[in-house]
Amino acid sequence: MSIETNKAIVRRFAQVWGKGDPSILDDLASADIRVSYPLMPAPAHGIEAFKEVLAMVHSAFPDIDCEVGDLIAEGEVVVVPWTLSGTHLGDLMGIPPSGKRVTWSGITLYRIQDCKVVDERGEEDGLGMLRQVGAIPAPAVPG
């Protein structure tokens, strides 16, 4: 599989975090995909578990949008910088809706095998997002 093919798969795949249709996971994800981010209480294993994570995110941020930056690829790995933005209108891991518009960014490594995403492992500015929704107070500014 070429690097350009892997990039094309990931460009399409990453949109499920925004307004993309989660049913594309049925075509592009391995049946035993593993998805992990620091804000997740545990990694999601399998397509249905990942769809549950996406449903929770989309419920919390119904107008969520995903902006994908320049992709970097080497072999079976594609690295994606991204920015998510949306209005916190639903429960988020027990955090009641704040009505606040938030933006947070991160970077994700996708591993591709046989034209399927088998692993999605990311790092995000979860602290910044939690501060924006009011779940964690911003530190006091000295002075």
Average pLDDT, the chain: 94
Q: Is the CB of residue 117 less than 8 Å from the CB of residue 30?
A: yes
Instruction: Supply the pTM of this predicted model.
Output: 0.91
pLDDT at 43: 96
Tens-digit pLDDT profile for residues 19-77: 878 899 999 999 999 999 999 989 999 999 999 999 999 999 999 999 999 999 999 99
Mind listing the domains of the chain with CATH numbers? 3-127 (3.10.450.50)
The CA-to-CA distance between both ends of the chain, in Å, stands at 57
Q: Is the CB of residue 82 less than 8 Å from the CB of residue 90?
A: no
The residue with greater pLDDT, 139 or 89, is: 89
Strand 77-87 to 65-68 pairing: antiparallel
Statement: residue 143 has pLDDT above 80: no
Amino acid in the structure at residue 79:
V
